[in-house]
Amino acid sequence: MTTLATRAELVKLAALLDIPVDQLTYLEGYQPGELRALRESITDRLFESDRKRLVGIATASKLVPVGISARIAELAFPAPLAARVSGLLEPSRAVDLARKVSIPFLAEMTPYLDPRRVSAIIERIPSDIVVKVGRILGDAGEHITMGRFVSYVNKDAIAQTAAVLSDASLLRTGFVLEDPAVLPEMVRLLPPERLRGVIRAAYEEELWPEALNMLDHLDDAARGLLADIAAGEEAAVLDGMVAVAHEEDLWEIALPVARTMNPDSRKRFAALPTFGRPEVLAKVVRTAADKELWPELLPLVPLLPVEARREVARIALELGPDVQERVLAEASEHNLWAPLVTIAAALGDDVPWENLPWDIGQIVARMGEAEMDAFLGDVADADLWGDVLSIAERVPDEHVARLARQAVALDVEAIMSRVIDAADHTGLWAEGLGLLARLDGATLEELAVHAAALPADLRRRVIDAATRLGMLDDLGPISAALA
């Protein structure tokens, strides 16, 4: 698999050699750093060739006024020669010459400059000249050239140049930056509406690899902002990202992007039809296993449609005990217990409890108060009460009672309706009513008020189920409230 960083280096090397990038496929196995070193070595060789003659030209240019030198350079020198000579001039004279030659000629010269050799010149070039040259380079598709110079240009010039470039040009330039570490700063310079344009360009112009490369180099705050913008567009935009991540094996980048989304955006992402396809989930889960990205994947699991959860559970069983132990360790370290309950519940009656990779009962039993609160918060956020009821029989009675008491303490008003709704939708009345029956008398009195507020038809179904199961008396004051 060719990484995005390797792909970017091959694109830059092909441009330097003036050949199609597909002629360099034999180099795909090399690391990005190795390819960059090769490219810089070739650049050094090119610039050092015929150096003596170039020094002579640079020395001669000092003998005439700047204006005349600029005129001679523009009329008599081809752009590649003018670029190489400029790197041998004193920075102050080179800047004076840059002010005198035409902007189109400067733009023509720029692809032949090595910014490492002219950094002292670049930092003195006025921002208005940088912006004018940048506009011409952007229109000409010279994204590699712009990518080489970004690290040497001041922030003001970067912001002004970004304003005159198209959204697609920004993505293409970001992909081939010499120093991707400047990407967070570049993104911070863009207003929100411009960021939305960048996301739209990724979708409309099929530039998701370039966009994912950019997202990969951002901090969580910037990455989350862009991910939420993408999630706010129509479903086809996020679906496009999922399709590219699947086709080009980019889940190592896409999963951390999903983790930084806000809760609503993450729900939209998990509900995408493309993301729920079995072949996509298989690649996602195996990427999480290979790259140790369980903290990124696990929070998505409870948000998946039921069939997708079952697929994740099936794949998890196939991965073997070593990977399953790693998942358990990550869940413990990051307090991600709810996804494990979801995985166990998704298997339904297809897999015996003893064949599950984790003892769910023991997991719940070992939770401390803070862990239990976090677990119940996740259950409430993702509405996983049906899953909790389905695993309740595996949890020792005293811990089920503790779970129920803490749930009531967190949200006494909601717990009644949520547990009853879950039991009603799943048919797990014995588990749901059993959860309530384990509560103490004072808590049952408190819940009775909320039981009385349930819809009349739901109250009748609760009474019928409790009567059928012989549990009516166990519910104490709740039974009276339901009547």
Per-residue pLDDT tens digits for 380-424: 888 888 888 887 777 777 777 788 788 878 776 677 888 899 999
pLDDT at 198: 95
Q: How many residues can be counted in the chain?
A: 483
| Calpha distance 233→79 (Å, rounded) | 44
348 φψ region: left (φ > 0), alpha (ψ -120 to 50), beta (else): left
- The answer to whether position 457 is within a domain reads yes
In a domain? residue 363: yes
Distance CA 381, CA 358 (A): 23
| Rounded Cα gap, residues 292 and 330, in angstroms | 9
Angle at 108 between CA 103 and CA 114, to 5 degrees: 110
Q: How many structural domains are present in the chain?
A: 1
Calpha distance 443→415 (Å, rounded):
11
For residues 172 and 96, give the distance between their C-alpha atoms in angstroms, rounded to a whole number: 31
Burial of 453 (0-12, 13-18, 19+ CB in 10 A): exposed
* Whole-number pLDDT of residue 203: 95
Residue numbers of the domain that contains 381:
359-483
Task: Name the one residue in this structure whose structure tokens are 């590649």.
Answer: 80
- Please report the pLDDT score of residue 361 as a whole number: 74
How far apart, in Å, are the Cα atoms of 238 and each of 230, 252, 274, 365? 6, 16, 9, 39
Q: What are the distances in angstroms from CA 66 to CA 41, 60, 221?
A: 33, 12, 48
Which residue, among 179, 212, 180, 185, has the nearest Cα to 198 in the 3D structure?
212
∠307-230-156 over CA atoms, to 5°?
155
pLDDT of the residue at 353: 66
Residue 421 near residue 385, CB atoms below 8 Å? yes
3-state secondary structure at position 89: coil
User: How far apart (Å, rounded) are the C-alpha atoms in residues 380 and 417?
Assistant: 12
Q: Is residue 146 part of a domain?
A: no
Query: Is 370 among the domain residues?
Result: yes
CB within 8 Å of 236: residues ≥ 6 apart: 203
Under DSSP, is residue 453 helix (H, G, I), strand (E, B) or coil?
A: coil
Greatest alpha-carbon pair distance for the chain in Å reads 107
The answer for residues whose C-beta is within 8 angstroms of residue 109's C-beta and 6 or more apart is 79, 80, 82, 83, 86
pLDDT 10s digits, 214-257: 999 998 888 999 999 999 999 999 999 999 999 999 999 999 99
In a domain, 68, yes or no: no
Q: Which long-range contacts (CB under 8 A, 24 or more apart) does 377-383 make?
A: 377/410, 378/302, 378/336, 378/337, 378/338, 379/338, 379/341, 379/407, 380/410, 380/411, 380/414, 380/418, 381/263, 382/302, 382/303, 382/338, 382/342, 383/418
Supply the pLDDT for residue 412.
Answer: 66
Distance CA 428, CA 457 (A): 18
What CA–CA distance (Å, rounded) separates 127 from 240?
37
- Torsion angle, CA of 391/395/399/405, rounded to 10 degrees? 20
pTM recorded for the entire structure: 0.79
The residues of the chain scoring below 70 in pLDDT are 1-2, 63, 348-351, 353-354, 412-413
CA distance 178 to 88: 22
On whether residue 435 sits in a domain, the answer given is: yes
Say if 54 falls within a structural domain.
Answer: no
pLDDT at 130: 94
CA-nearest of 468, 469, 462 to 480 is: 462
For position 373, what pLDDT does the model report? 85
Euclidean distance between CA atoms 412 and 381, whole angstroms: 15
> How do the residues of the chain divide into helix, strand and coil, expressed in percent and rounded to 5?
75, 0, 25
CA-closest candidate to residue 393, choices 337, 425, 349: 349
Residue 385 lies in a domain: yes
